[in-house]
Amino acid sequence: MPTVAANGHRIRYEVEGPAGAAVLAFSNSLGTTLEMWDAQVPAFRERYRCLRFDTRGHGGSAVVTGPATVDDLADDFAGLLDALAIDSVHFVGLSLGGMTGQAFAVKYPQRLRSLALVSTTAHTPPPAAWTARAETVRREGMSAIADAVMQRWFTPAFREAASPAVGDNERRFRETSPEGYAHCCEIIGRLDLRETIQAIRTPTLIVAGALDPATPPSMAEDLRSRIGGSELLVLSGAAHLLAAERPGALNAFLKAFLRLNV
C-alpha cells in the first residue's frame, strides 16, 4: 500500500471508492492496523471515497519517538489530508482513533463534515497504568499483554466462536512495533480532552459496546454530555473492537448517521 510524508514522517494509507465522492476516513485503534476496518470499507466504498490509514507506530506507518500528545495525532491526519489534497472528511475513529478524531474536531473543525466516535473516551486515568503498559511492551514485547488485550477487545462468546476476525487482529497486534505501541500508550496516558471537546459543533455520533471493559458506556455517556447535540448508541452484547465483533450493526449505525449529514 502507498505511503506519504505527513507531519514529518511516513504514513501508510489506502483509498477506495469513486473519485469526487465525499471522503469517509477511518482511524484505527491502539494495537491495530488499517485492516481492522476490512468489514466497513466494502459497505461504504460505492457511495464514499474511503480513506483509512495506520496511526504512527502501527502497521506500515513510521515509528515516532519522543514525547507527544493526541494533538500530534490530529496533526498527522491533517498532514495526510494535505498530502492527498483532501479538504474535508467524514471521520470514524475507534478507541485511539476516536481520541484522534476528538482532537482533530477541536483543532481543525473546518475540515470535518461529521464525526463518529466508537469505543472511545476523552480521558483515561490513571496515567501510571499507561506508563506501566508502555514499559512492559518495551521490555517484554507485545506477546506479554496480547492475551489480556484480546479479552478486552472481544466478548468471551466471540472469542470462543473462533471467528477469523479474532485471529487476524491478534496476529496484527503481536506484529505491532513495541516502541510504536508504547509511544501511543504514553499519548493516551496524557489524554484529557474533557474541557476542549465542549467546543465541538460538528454532528457527532457516539457508539459504545455494552460489555466493553476498556471504554465502558459510562465513558461514552460522558462524551455525550460534553459534545452538544451528539447522539449516543449502546450496542448490546459487544465489547471493545466493535468494527470486528459487530460490523453489521456498526455499519448500520454509521449509514443512518451519514445519511443525515451528507
pLDDT digits (tens, 9 = 90+) for 213-238: 999 999 999 999 999 999 999 999 99
Average pLDDT, stretch 59-71?
Answer: 97
Q: Which residues pair with residue 126 across a beta bridge?
A: none
Segment 142-165 shows an average pLDDT of: 96
Query: Using 50, 70 and 90 to split pLDDT, how confident is the model at 162?
Result: confident
- In CATH, what number is assigned to the domain containing residue 66? 3.40.50.1820
Q: Give residue for cell 521490555.
A: 139
Helix-strand-coil split of the chain, %, nearest 5: 45, 20, 35
* Residues of the chain above pLDDT 90, percent: 97
Mean of the per-residue pLDDT values for the chain? 97
Mean pLDDT, range 160-164, rounded to an integer: 90
Rounded to whole angstroms, the Cα distance separating 51 from 27 reads 9
Phi–psi pair at 231, nearest 5 degrees = -115, 140
Q: pLDDT tens digit string along 245-254?
A: 999 999 999 9
Find, among 10, 7, 220, the residue nearest to 102 by Cα.
220
**pLDDT band for position 262 (cuts 50, 70, 90):** low
Contacts of 112 (CB under 8 A, 6+ apart): 88, 89, 90, 91, 104, 105, 202
Rounded average pLDDT over 57-76: 97
pLDDT, residue 212, reads: 98
CA distance 19 to 26: 17
Q: How far apart are CA 105 and CA 205, in angstroms?
A: 13
In this structure, of 54-58, 82-86, 160-164, 189-193, the range with the lowest mean pLDDT score is: 160-164
What does the buried/exposed string (b/e) look like for 41-68 if buried means 16 or more CB atoms within 10 Å of the residue's CB?
bebbbebbbbbbbbbbbbbbbbbbeeeb
Is the pLDDT at 260 greater than 90? The verdict is no
Domain with 206, as residue range(s), is 3-259
User: For the chain, how many structural domains are there in total?
Assistant: 1
Region 239-244: what's the mean pLDDT? 98
